[in-house]
Amino acid sequence: MMRRTSVRAGALLAAGALLVAACSSSGSNKTGAATTVGGATTTAAPGTTAGGSTTTAAASTSSPASSTPAATTWAVNTKDCVDPAAADKAITGTLHLGSVMPLSGGIAAAAFAPVKAGFEAYIDYANKQKMLGDVKIDVNIQDDQYNKDKTPGAVSKLIDGGVDVVAGIIGTPDNLAVRQTLNDSCIPQLNALTGSPHWGEVKDFPWTMGILVPYDIESKIYAKQLSVMYPKGAKVALFYINTEFGTAYADAFKELAKQYNLDIVDTETIEGEDATPPKSQVTNIAAKKPDVVMAVPLGAGCVTFLNALAAAKAQNAGWNPATFITNTCASSLILGAAGPDANGIYTSGATIDIGNPANATLPKVKEYLDIMKAAGHADIATTAAAGWATAEATVAMLQQAQKSSAGLTRASIINAARNFTYTPMLARPGVVLHSNGEADPFLAQSLQVIQYDAAKKIFTDVGKLITEFETK
């Protein structure tokens, strides 16, 4: 309702939408940093196997209609549901798919209208292709104006309208606000479009899953990249927006910094509603002459930060730090306004760079672009890819659920989602969505570090896809 000045997690711009865990196929042992519930990172013991998944503490389901798990496959316990019958009821005819997105009311909201378009476009496509056979998917996206106080109302509307599955809600607080309700009602809350580590809390909230690479993982991937670029260590300055979004990055980076010999010489923040260019922050950073600048601004702040940084670089001849920036800034739409100041920045992505003309001929990309053009959305195809990819993953989960022994029920949907392996059509090679019950609650944990060329407005890959933080 009211214009929002506080900006939060989110100017999701397509390139970084889908992230996928590249767990190598079948059962090889790998060590890796696994994220546990609550976002703290522990290093898995060398003996952890890929197949050693655990069942939930709530034991295996006893309700006969739910998907029959093998002894080691995760399945949700529908006994805890308020209405277990509804959770196990077969869904026929129409599947009601709901979502809540910021369709209005502020900076972050503006970035998301294309997400809705992409989402609905894919569902349209899925219905046309009869991906769920006789079952038609009916989509209902409500507006919460990126205000978590409005999300419960929007979700209540969906529940009253008989929604079966909710997917792609944007915003960490927004998802949090309705998490309890959806879990109590046993409605799958799939593919939350945020990178919050909260979606790993499988035990308490088995019906909730996220789809983005958690912010802390993205931050760690940058740290990892830095350890490759600067094997002897480096001086780093952190700049982040003072919201949950920014602090998630900052905290995760600080965690790994010591391990990779990264010395954080300066930490600067900016407030969400502060539209003035961050001159004083950049002056402070420049004074310390770090080798690397890790930046987590948001929206218009992406542009002003890059401008200020470029000015500082020009004034401090000889200082040319490698600049890493959050992938929510990484869209040529926003970066265009920064002009040449955005040249050479590092960021990350899991989807193919749609904006790059060279990729337009790739068959999957071409298919996507054609569909968007036919729907009249050619101008937002780049940013709509996030919605498209989310809907694609959701439908794939629905398909897997339908094929399961329990058929298409709410319980089988979440079970399918938690035992999921899938390669989205717009994903980079090597990026695969993978989940495995409680052991691996995050679908996407790998990113490709990319670098921006301001003149050509395209991203080029730097190094290999970093899959280090995949939970195997």
The reply on whether position 124 binds another protein by CB under 8 A is no
d(CA 451, CA 448): 10
240 close to 215: Cβ distance less than 8 angstroms? no
Q: Which of residues 432-451 bind another protein (CB under 8 A)?
A: none
- Render the burial of 311-334: b for 16+ CB within 10 Å, e for the rest: bbbeeeeeeebbbbbbbbbbbbbb
3 close to 106: Cβ distance less than 8 angstroms? yes
Which x/- pattern over 235-274 shows residues binding another protein (rule: CB under 8 A)?
-------xxx-xxx-------------------xxxxxxx
The reply on whether position 25 binds another protein by CB under 8 A is no
In the complex, minimum distance from the CB of residue 84 to another protein, in angstroms, rounded to a whole number: 12
In the complex, minimum distance from the CB of residue 2 to another protein, in angstroms, rounded to a whole number: 5
Q: Locate 214 and state its tokens.
A: 């958690």
Which of residues 82, 85, 90, 228 is near another protein by CB under 8 A? 82
In the complex, minimum distance from the CB of residue 250 to another protein, in angstroms, rounded to a whole number: 10
50 close to 32: Cβ distance less than 8 angstroms? no
Tracing tokens 């407005």 back to the chain, one arrives at 457
* Closest CA relative to residue 183, chosen from 104, 261, 83: 83
Q: Which residues have CB under 8 Å from 298's CB, separation 6+?
A: 7, 8, 10, 11, 107, 108, 241, 243, 245, 246, 272, 328, 329
Strand partners, 293: 237, 323
How far, CA to CA in Å, does 341 sit from each of 211, 315, 334? 31, 14, 12
Q: Which of residues 344-383 bind another protein (CB under 8 A)?
A: 379-380, 382-383
The reply on whether position 338 binds another protein by CB under 8 A is yes
The reply on whether position 410 binds another protein by CB under 8 A is no
In the complex, minimum distance from the CB of residue 280 to another protein, in angstroms, rounded to a whole number: 4
Q: Which of residues 41-70 bind another protein (CB under 8 A)?
A: none
Which of residues 28, 204, 259, 429 is near another protein by CB under 8 A? 204
In the complex, minimum distance from the CB of residue 215 to another protein, in angstroms, rounded to a whole number: 12
The reply on whether position 7 binds another protein by CB under 8 A is yes
In the complex, minimum distance from the CB of residue 442 to another protein, in angstroms, rounded to a whole number: 19
Q: Report the SS3 class of residue 326.
A: coil
262 close to 274: Cβ distance less than 8 angstroms? no
Q: Which amino acid is at 437?
A: G
d(CA 166, CA 399): 15
In the complex, minimum distance from the CB of residue 191 to another protein, in angstroms, rounded to a whole number: 21
Which of residues 88, 164, 291, 341 is near another protein by CB under 8 A? 341
The reply on whether position 6 binds another protein by CB under 8 A is yes
Which x/- pattern over 125-144 shows residues binding another protein (rule: CB under 8 A)?
-----------------xx-
Q: Which of residues 297-336 bind another protein (CB under 8 A)?
A: 299-300, 303-304, 307, 310-316, 332-334, 336
Q: Where does residue 261 fall: left (phi above 0), alpha (psi -120 to 50 degrees), or beta otherwise?
A: left
Tracing tokens 């019906």 back to the chain, one arrives at 207
- Render the burial of 344-373: b for 16+ CB within 10 Å, e for the rest: ebbbbbbbbbbbbeebeebeebeebbebbe
Q: Which of residues 152-191 bind another protein (CB under 8 A)?
A: 152-153, 156-157, 159-160, 173, 176-177, 180, 184-185
209 close to 191: Cβ distance less than 8 angstroms? yes
Which of residues 15, 17, 97, 103 is near another protein by CB under 8 A? 103
The reply on whether position 279 binds another protein by CB under 8 A is yes
Stretch near another protein under the rule CB under 8 A, chosen from 6-14, 16-24, 26-34, 408-416: 6-14
In the complex, minimum distance from the CB of residue 148 to another protein, in angstroms, rounded to a whole number: 6
Q: How many chain residues are in contact with another protein, going by CB under 8 A?
A: 86
Q: Which is nearer to another protein, 48 or 104 (CB)?
A: 104
The reply on whether position 430 binds another protein by CB under 8 A is no
Q: Which is nearer to another protein, 247 or 421 (CB)?
A: 247
The reply on whether position 280 binds another protein by CB under 8 A is yes
d(CA 176, CA 147): 12
Which of residues 28, 31, 83, 344 is near another protein by CB under 8 A? 83
In the complex, minimum distance from the CB of residue 178 to another protein, in angstroms, rounded to a whole number: 9
In the complex, minimum distance from the CB of residue 356 to another protein, in angstroms, rounded to a whole number: 14
* HEC-encoded secondary structure of 266-293: EEEEECCCCCCCCHHHHHHHHHHCCCEE
Q: Which is nearer to another protein, 40 or 228 (CB)?
A: 40
